[in-house]
């Protein structure tokens, strides 16, 4: 039963994006990162795993940071392509460009992984999950993935972990800088990209734009997207900084088939607007107050004139606010605060109105204590959060991590915590299956890890994890014909990651993940989760300018549901995908030729049964920077 529900969620034609209050890190407000080159947030600092930015050496959880240099070298156009090589994270796309994409972090489903963009969550308030197919890398400076239960920090959805995307911030030291690309390729691919950053003392700003057009291998398989984002940050004094972050993502995707039947007129559209206004007030050297307001509106549609279910449109809105107080007291760094949010969801189709401003409200209190012992050799972080939800009541989420630097170059860590996922608005109130009596899905998660520096800059990381999930929300098709809390699952596994520099300008990343993810009710492996997956990336920058990257990803075989007969189990074959990108040094007028090739070997494979992945894709063009 669990595997069927997970498959159904990940295969929905429409995923409705929204957000949930997260954390607005003080480091991002106080120290905006430069528009070009390395971020002031170095790769050895992790923002998403604690209430304040934490050095990786004292972090008690597994984390992966993809910085600006790696993003530029990869030439990835979507965030999902950056995530494919992260340990413990499986990316599953249902066909060609722009089609529905699911994330499985440590075996949990897309509904159980929190995705944040500048503190704004993209998880749907309608039926859960996050579709990253249209999320562009335009104006993106950094991506972090922290693994394990994080409801003590973030509340709902963070059962498997958190994926966090950071927009570029301008540097006050640089007046103006930017870059742009223009390219074309096979399958009618066209792409235009530009971003600019302005720094002028206390006032900084940045903006990004990307327009993407691409066709797939099948009839009516196309993708057209426009992504626009902008940030403004103003320092009114040394103690007060205010920011504004705005993002708009529009996309239209053609759906070539359904269950093996051609659908020549079927299409979906997505239109998501997110807004955040963070404020930082520094009271003293040891105390500060952060506050933020978030708002999002998502308006996806579905249309197919030839189908019985011919049209659908959704209007999902969420507003939230957060305030947090941080104080350093001796060996303790204490953080406490509150979150509030309200959601409104409306949906109608050719069958009529399903939801008319259905609403939920959540209020949360949270606290965290970071304790540094033995001169920072041992760091203990304890946190707890209580969420009060208008539909199901309350949920309390504790978390404890320990990081111990046994000796220089050797760190042991352990973490334990609980997490939950609140039932979505659709699961609660959708007229054909909703159940207002639903309880949240809950989990207990544990992990242990070791990080060893083998040589200068060469770091080996090993992690073992275990996650028990209960009260999973499933549709009861035999008795009540409603959503019920009747599922249980277990995920456990091992992650290994190696990062090593090659000279001053190059880096190699390698990873391998073993996963055992089971539906305990059916005693069967969860669908679309491979037991083994591995990746390797080489990235380098040239002395005279330009860059090169080569990434190989191998994904083992995994169970799936047949796209035509949903009751039938099939086995998706293992596959190897190789991507490469090269940007040559600038030639004339600072123009640099570039080429990007995905699926370099032209292999036939599927990530989801019944949805062939794209063949070899080539995009070439010119890039400029100033």
Give me the pLDDT at residue 551, please: 95
Per DSSP, which regions of 476-613 are E strands?
483-502, 506-519, 524-525, 532-541, 547-555, 558-561, 569-572, 575-583, 591-598, 606-608, 611-612
How far from 621 is each of 76, 77, 98, 155, CA to CA, in Å? 14, 14, 22, 43
Give me the pLDDT at residue 173, please: 66
Tell me, rounded to whole angstroms, the distance of Cα 136 from its chain centroid: 12
Residue in this structure with the two tokens 């008795």, named with its chain if needed: 479
Contact partners, residue 462, CB within 8 Å, separation at least 6: 449, 450, 451, 494, 495, 496
Give me the pLDDT at residue 457, please: 81
Give me the pLDDT at residue 20, please: 30
Pairing of strands 113-117, 161-167: parallel
Contact partners, residue 525, CB within 8 Å, separation at least 6: 3, 516, 517, 518, 519, 531, 558, 559
pTM for this model (two decimals) = 0.90
Burial of 92 (C-beta count, 10 Å sphere; 0-12/13-18/19+): buried
CATH number for the domain that contains residue 183: 2.40.170.20
Tell me, rounded to whole angstroms, the distance of Cα 406 from its chain centroid: 32
Give me the pLDDT at residue 174, please: 64
Classify the C-alpha dihedral 562-564-566-567 as positive or negative.
negative
Domain count, the chain: 1
Mean pLDDT by 10 residues, the chain (626 residues): 37 31 32 33 75 87 89 85 93 87 92 89 84 83 94 94 88 79 94 90 90 91 93 91 92 88 93 91 94 90 94 92 95 96 94 93 97 94 97 96 94 97 94 93 97 88 97 90 94 95 86 96 93 95 88 96 86 96 89 95 93 93 91
Alpha helices in 277-338 (DSSP H): none
Burial of 48 (C-beta count, 10 Å sphere; 0-12/13-18/19+): buried
Tokens encoding 575: 């596959």
Residue in this structure with the two tokens 């009540």, named with its chain if needed: 480
Q: Collapsing DSSP states into helix, strand and coil, what is residue 480? A: coil
Phi then psi for 431, rounded to 5 degrees? -65, -20
Give me the pLDDT at residue 41, please: 56
Nearest to 345 by CA among 301, 321, 389, 314: 314
- The whole-angstrom separation of Cα 370 and Cα 375 is 13
Domain range for 216 is 2-625
- The whole-angstrom separation of Cα 56 and Cα 43 is 8
In DSSP notation, 163-202 reads EEEEE----TT-SEEEEEEEEEESTT-EEEEEEEEEEETT
pLDDT in tens, 590-601: 899 999 999 999
Phi then psi for 71, rounded to 5 degrees? -65, -45
C-alpha neighbours within 13 Å on the C-beta side of residue 125: 32
């Amino acid at each position: 039963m669990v595997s069927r529900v997970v498959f159904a969620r990940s295969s929905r034609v429409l995923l409705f994006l929204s957000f949930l209050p997260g954390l607005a890190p003080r480091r991002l407000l106080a120290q905006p990162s430069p528009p070009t080159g390395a971020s002031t947030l170095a790769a050895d600092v992790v923002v998403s795993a604690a209430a304040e930015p934490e050095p990786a050496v004292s972090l008690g959880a597994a984390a992966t940071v993809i910085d600006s240099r790696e993003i530029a070298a990869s030439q990835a156009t979507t965030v999902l392509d950056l995530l494919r090589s992260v340990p413990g994270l499986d990316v599953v796309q249902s066909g060609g460009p722009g089609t529905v994409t699911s994330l499985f972090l440590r075996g949990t489903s897309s509904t159980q992984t929190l995705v944040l963009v500048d503190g704004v969550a993209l998880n749907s308030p309608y039926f859960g999950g996050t579709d990253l197919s249209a999320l562009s890398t335009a104006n993106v400076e950094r991506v972090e993935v922290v693994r394990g239960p994080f409801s003590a920090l973030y509340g709902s959805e963070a059962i498997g972990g958190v994926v966090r995307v950071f927009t570029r911030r301008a540097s006050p030291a640089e007046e103006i800088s930017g870059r742009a690309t223009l390219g074309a390729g096979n399958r009618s691919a066209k792409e235009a990209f530009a971003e600019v950053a302005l720094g002028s003392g206390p006032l900084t700003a940045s903006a990004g734009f990307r327009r993407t057009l691409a066709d797939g291998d099948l009839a009516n398989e196309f993708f057209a997207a426009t992504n626009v984002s902008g940030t403004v940050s103003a320092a009114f004094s040394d103690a007060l900084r205010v920011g504004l972050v705005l993002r708009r993502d529009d996309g239209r995707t053609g759906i070539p088939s359904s269950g093996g039947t051609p659908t020549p007129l079927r299409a979906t559209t997505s239109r998501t607007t997110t807004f955040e206004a963070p404020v930082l007030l520094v009271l003293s050297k040891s105390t500060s107050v952060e506050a933020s307001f978030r708002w999002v509106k998502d308006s996806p549609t579905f249309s197919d004139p030839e189908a019985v279910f011919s049209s659908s449109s959704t209007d999902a809105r969420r507003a939230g606010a957060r305030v947090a107080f941080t104080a350093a007291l001796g060996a303790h760094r204490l953080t406490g605060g509150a979150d509030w949010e309200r959601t409104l969801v409306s949906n109608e189709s050719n069958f009529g109105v399903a939801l008319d401003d259905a609403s939920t409200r959540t209020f949360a209190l949270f606290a965290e204590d970071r304790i540094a012992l033995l001169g920072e050799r041992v760091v203990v972080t304890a946190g707890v959060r209580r969420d009060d939800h208008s539909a199901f009541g309350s949920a309390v989420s504790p978390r404890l991590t320990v990081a111990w630097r046994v000796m220089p170059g050797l760190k042991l860590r352990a973490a334990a915590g609980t997490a939950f996922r609140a039932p979505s608005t659709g699961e609660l109130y959708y007229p054909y299956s909703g159940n207002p009596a639903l309880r949240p899905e809950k989990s207990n998660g544990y992990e242990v890890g070791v990080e060893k520096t083998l040589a200068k800059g060469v770091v080996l990381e090993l992690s073992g994890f275990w996650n028990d999930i209960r009260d999973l929300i499933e549709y009861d098709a035999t008795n009540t014909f409603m959503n019920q809390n009747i599922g249980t699952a277990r995920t456990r596994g091992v992650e290994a990651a190696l990062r090593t520099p090659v000279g001053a300008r190059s880096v190699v990343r390698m990873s391998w993940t073993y996963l055992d993810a089971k539906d305990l009710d059916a005693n069967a492996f969860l669908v679309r989760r491979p037991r083994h997956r591995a990746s390797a990336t080489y990235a380098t920058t040239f002395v005279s300018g330009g860059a090169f990257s080569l990434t190989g990803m191998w994904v083992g075989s995994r169970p799936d549901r047949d796209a035509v007969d949903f009751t039938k189990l099939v086995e998706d074959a293992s596959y190897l995908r190789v991507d490469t990108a090269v940007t040559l040094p600038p030639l004339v007028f600072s123009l640099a030729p570039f080429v990007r090739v995905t699926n370099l070997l032209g292999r036939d494979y599927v990530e989801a049964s019944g949805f062939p992945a794209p063949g070899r894709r080539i995009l070439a063009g010119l890039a400029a920077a100033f």
